[in-house]
Amino acid sequence: MKKLFVILALLALLVACAPQKPVQPVVEKVEEPKASFNVNPPAEVKTEAAPVEVTEAPKAESSGPQTVKVDIVGFKYVPASVKIKVGDTVTWTQVDTVKHTVTIVAGPENFDSGLLTAGQTYSHTFTKPGTYSYKCTPHPNMRGEVIVE
């Protein structure tokens, strides 16, 4: 009798020490919504127009300073007139075999490229608004302008 008790006690101990079964996560059964075949919306639902998303045009300042190109070709500045913003740069590219200059005639700032040979470029960054008239020193009939806003 005592032996049986010891065995039972050992068994009880074994059961107590046995690793607990991991608790199974309770998976809740989610009922799938039944497809509604009601085509017509309820009368009380107002069909409002979707709000119009206003996309602001990017400001010129946010896109950073720009560089505008002007060619010196055929005794002309092409284009002869460019409109830019303060901080922008104009780069002239001399194409003709004859030498030309980009020389200020009137404007808030002075600049002069000096004689440019074919293939040379000259750049000027405009820091003050206004209209800049320029010419070619050897060929004063060559005229151009930069309008800085």
Q: Which residues bind Co ion (CB under 5 A)?
A: 100, 136, 139, 142
Residue nearest to Co ion (CB): 136
Structure tokens at 26: 């309770």
> Toward Co ion, which CB reaches closer, 8 or 105?
105
Structure tokens at 120: 């040379």
> Toward Co ion, which CB reaches closer, 136 or 148?
136
The residue count for the chain: 149
Closest distance to Co ion from the beta carbon of 118 (Å): 12
CA–CA distance, 115 with 87 (Å, rounded to integer)? 25
> Toward Co ion, which CB reaches closer, 85 or 91?
91
Sheet of 81-84: strand order equals 81-84, 143-148, 130-135, 103-106
Closest distance to Co ion from the beta carbon of 136 (Å): 3
> Toward Co ion, which CB reaches closer, 68 or 95?
95
Run of H or E residues at 3: helix 2-17
Contact by Cβ (8 Å): 77, 92 = yes
Closest distance to Co ion from the beta carbon of 93 (Å): 14
Closest distance to Co ion from the beta carbon of 70 (Å): 13
